[in-house]
Amino acid sequence: MADGRTGTLLPQNVTIKDVAEHLGVSHSTVSRALNDRRHISEEMKARVRQAAAELGYVVNAGARTLRSAESNLIGLIVPDVGSELFTAAAKALAARCFRAGYQLVLCVHEDDPEIELRHVEALRQARALGVVIIPTPGVLDQTAALLKATSVVQFSRYSPKIDAPSVTLDGAHGVATAVAHLASLGHRRIAYVGLPDDRSTGWDRLAGYRQGLERIGVAFDPGLVRLGATLLEYGRSAMASLLQLDPRPTAVVFGSADLTHGGVEACRRAGVRVPQDLSVVGYGDPAWFKLIGPGLTTVAVVTGEMAEAAILQLLRKIAGGPDEAAASIALEPHLILRESTAPLRA
Amino acid sequence: MADGRTGTLLPQNVTIKDVAEHLGVSHSTVSRALNDRRHISEEMKARVRQAAAELGYVVNAGARTLRSAESNLIGLIVPDVGSELFTAAAKALAARCFRAGYQLVLCVHEDDPEIELRHVEALRQARALGVVIIPTPGVLDQTAALLKATSVVQFSRYSPKIDAPSVTLDGAHGVATAVAHLASLGHRRIAYVGLPDDRSTGWDRLAGYRQGLERIGVAFDPGLVRLGATLLEYGRSAMASLLQLDPRPTAVVFGSADLTHGGVEACRRAGVRVPQDLSVVGYGDPAWFKLIGPGLTTVAVVTGEMAEAAILQLLRKIAGGPDEAAASIALEPHLILRESTAPLRA
DNA sequence: ATGAAAGCGCTAACAT
DNA sequence: ATGTTAGCGCTTTCAT
C-alpha cells in the first residue's frame, strides 16, 4: 500500500537503482557514470545522465555521507546574527563554502553555553567537516571535548579551553591607540564603556584602556569605567550615568559597536554635543558610523580581512587533516579619524 | 592498516555496534535504549547511556537520514547577509529551528539565479525538510521545479514561478503613505529612488509611488524617478543626480534601506540640509536611522513580525505534509515620523 | 566496460 | 525484554 514508488505525484524517491532499472543496467554503472569515474564509455555516461535527468534523480547526500563518513557541512557558531562581525564572517564563509561545495550551517548561541553545546553536538552528529566559532564566555568542557574531533577555528573571541587556533583582533592595541589620540588632544578624564572582562574581547580591550592611560601618565579611575553585556541598552545607561558625573569626563572610548551605538543615543538624548561637549571614539566601523553627527572617530575593525583569514585557516585544516599545524593570529585595528573628537576646551 | 577502530587518538567512529559489543548486547537494544523506545528496562537504558558516553558515541545523523528519508535541515536562501531583513529572518528562524531540533543551512545567492539553483540542488540532495527563500529576480524553471518537492515559504520577495505561499510586505501601501505625508506638508515635486521593477519588491513600491501621486493629483514624472540595484552606491549616485535637477525636487522617498543610506550620504556630501533643503522619507528602519541627522522619517518594515509569520507557516507546512494549505500574506508597514521631513518652504 | 556483492550506521519488523 | 534480520541509497572492491 504505502509504496513510495507508485505513481504518487511527488517523484520523491528516485534512486540510482530506479535509473539503472530504467536503463537495464546495473546500479553500479549508474553510480560510475554519475560520478564521472573511469572505465565507463562516454555513451553510457550520456545515457545515464539523460535518464537521471528525466526521472528527476537527485543524489542522496545522506547515503553518501554514510559511506564516506564525512559530510559537506561546515558550522558557523555565533552569539548573534546582527553584528558587523557576524556579517563579515558569514559573507566570507558563505562565498568560500559555496565555491568549495560545502554547505554552511548557521548556529546562534546567544552567549548561552548550553545552547552552544547543543549546536556542537548537532554538528558532530552531522559529521560536520569544520567549524568556525565565536565562543561563549563560558565554554563547557564537553563542548571543548567534542570540538576536538573536528577542524576548528576560533573567530574574534578566544577561549583557552578550545584547542584550536584563533583569528582575533588586537583590541588592546586599538583601544590604547584611541586613548593616545584623545590624550594628544589634551584630554585626561577619559571614560571607557566596554564589554565584561569574562570574555577575551572584554579584558583585552580593557587592558588596552589601562595601557593607554599608563602611557600618558593618568591614573586608572574605576569610576570612569563601565562594563556590561546587554550592549545597546547598556551603552545607553552607562553613558547616561557617566554624564551624571561631576566633573564629567571630557572624552569617552567605547569597546564595542553596539555599546557605541547606545552611548551615542544617550548623548543625543541628554543634549550633549559631540565633540564640543564630549569627544567620542567608537569601536568597530559599521557603514553608518560616518553618518552619525559629523562622522564618528572609531577603532576600525578589519572584519573582512579577519573573516578571510579565518576561512582560509579552516579550509587549510580541512584539507590537511586534523594535524595540520595552524597558528593563532591577531590582526591590528586602526583608528579612523573623523569629527567626533576635538581638542579639550579650557 | 587503515583501521579506524584501532587506538588512533580520535575516537571518531564509535557506532552503536561498538557500544553493543562493549556491553555484550545486540545493537538494536542499544538503539532502543538511546532512542527511549518502549520494551526496554530502565536498567538497560542506564547502562547503555553510560557506555555510550564513556566510549564517546555520537549518533550518525547521515545514517538516520538515510533510513527516514528526511533530514533535520532547513534552508534559508537569501540574497545577502547584511540586510535588516536577513537579520530578522535569520534571528527568528535560528531560534525556532533550534527549539524544534532542526539545523539551519545558510545559502547566499547574491541575486544570481545560477547560484540560487545550485543551493536549491544541494538542499534537495541533503533532503532538506523545508526552505525559506528570498528569491532572485530571475528564478530558473529548474529551481522552481526542485522546490516543489519541499515545504517552501517565500519571504519578503515573491516569485510567481515558485509554487509556494509568501510572506511579504505591502510596500505599495508604505510608499503611498510616505507620498501622502509629504503632500500634506505641501510638497509636489517628490522624487523616488527605488529598486528595479524586475522584482516584486521593486514594482510594488514603485506602484505605491504612482498611486500616492495620483491621489494627490500630481502627474507622474519619470525624470524624478531613479531605479537601481547596486543599492548603497546607486543610492548615492541617484540622489546626486536628482540634486542636479533644476528645479530640484523638494522631497524624496526611498525604496530600500540601503538606497536610503546611500542617498543620505549623497545629501551630506552635497551640503544639502535635511529637512530644510530637502525632505527625506527612508524605507526600512535599521536601529541607526533614528541617529541620522535629526532622526529619519521612514516607512518602517515590521521585520520581526514578518519573520515570525514566515517561520510559523513553514513549520506548519513541515508538520502538515506537502498538502497543508497555506495562504500568502502581506503585512502593513507604517510610517514613523521623525524629523527629516518638513513643510515646504515658499 | 560492465555486473555482482558487500557494507557504511542506523531503525524497525519480526522472532524469541 | 532482548536478539535477529533486513534494508535505507550509495560507493567500491572484485569478478567477468
Judge whether residue A124 contacts strand D, using its CB and a 7 Å cut-off: no
User: Rounded to 10 degrees, what is the CA torsion of B50, B53, B56, B60?
Assistant: 100
What's the pLDDT score for residue A231? 84
> What is the DSSP code (8-state) at residue B9?
S
What are the tens digits of pLDDT across the range A225-267?
Answer: 999 998 899 999 999 999 999 999 999 999 999 999 999 999 9
Contact check, Cβ <8 Å, A291/B292: yes
pLDDT at A320: 81
Q: Count how many pairs of residues, chain A against chain B, have C-beta atoms within 8 Å.
A: 144
pLDDT at A277 over 90: yes
* Residue A19 CB contacts under 8 Å (≥ 6 apart), including other chains: A27, A30, A48, A51, A52, A55, A57
Cis peptide before B247, with omega less than 30 degrees from 0?
A: yes
CA-based nearest residue to B190, from B271, B299, B281, B270:
B281
Distance from C-alpha of A104 to C-alpha of B273, rounded to nearest angstrom: 44
CA dist A261 and A283 (Å) reads: 9
A251-254 and A130-133 strand pairing: unpaired
pLDDT confidence of residue A12: 62
CA–CA separation, A83 and A156 (whole Å): 12
Each residue's pLDDT expressed in tens, for chain B with a length of 346 residues: 333 333 333 456 899 999 999 999 999 999 999 999 988 999 999 999 999 999 999 999 999 999 988 899 999 999 999 998 999 999 999 999 999 999 999 999 999 999 999 999 999 999 999 999 999 999 999 999 999 999 999 999 999 999 999 999 999 999 999 999 999 999 999 999 999 999 999 999 999 999 999 999 999 999 999 999 988 999 999 999 999 999 999 999 999 999 999 999 999 999 999 999 999 999 999 999 999 988 999 999 999 999 999 999 999 999 886 567 778 999 999 999 999 999 998 7
Apex A194 CA angle, A192 and A195, nearest 5? 160
Amino acid at B36: D
- Which helix or strand (DSSP H or E) is residue B280 part of? strand B279-283
Q: Which residue is nearest to nucleotide C4 (CA to C1')?
A: A26
- Is there a contact between A148 and B10 if contact means CB atoms under 8 Å apart? yes
| Average pLDDT rounded to a whole number, residues A291-312 | 94
CA A328, CA A96: separation in Å to the nearest integer?
Answer: 20
Answer for A16: CB within 7 Å of strand D: yes
B87 contacts in A (CB within 8 Å)? 81-82
Our measurement of CA A46 to C1' D11, in angstroms, reads: 20
The pLDDT confidence band at residue A322, using thresholds 50, 70 and 90, is: low
pLDDT reported for residue A43: 93
Question: What is the tens place of the pLDDT at every residue in A140-184?
Answer: 999 999 999 999 999 999 999 999 999 999 999 999 999 999 999
What pLDDT is recorded for position B12? 62
- Bridge partners (DSSP) of residue A74 are A104, A130
pTM of the model: 0.93
Question: What pLDDT score does A13 carry?
Answer: 83
What are the beta bridge partners of residue A132? A76, A153
Average per-residue pLDDT in chain A? 93
Is the C-beta atom of A69 closer than 7 angstroms to strand C? yes
Work out the number of other CB atoms within 10 angstroms of the CB of residue A68.
Answer: 11
Strand D and A99 CB separated by under 7 Å: no
Residue–nucleotide distance: B50 CA to D8 C1' (Å)? 29
Q: What is the DSSP letter of B319?
A: H
Answer whether any strand C atom is within 7 A of the Cβ of B65: no
Nearest alpha-carbon partner for A254 in A265, A246, A244, A269: A265
Count other Cβ atoms within 10 Å, centred on residue B61: 24
Mutate which of A5, A106, A264 to disrupt the B interface (most B C-beta within 10 Å)? A106
pLDDT digits (tens, 9 = 90+) for A21-67: 999 999 999 999 999 998 899 999 999 999 999 999 999 999 999 99
**Which among A62, A91, A322 has CB closest to B65?**
A62
Ramachandran area for residue B140 (φ above 0: left; ψ -120 to 50: alpha; else beta):
beta
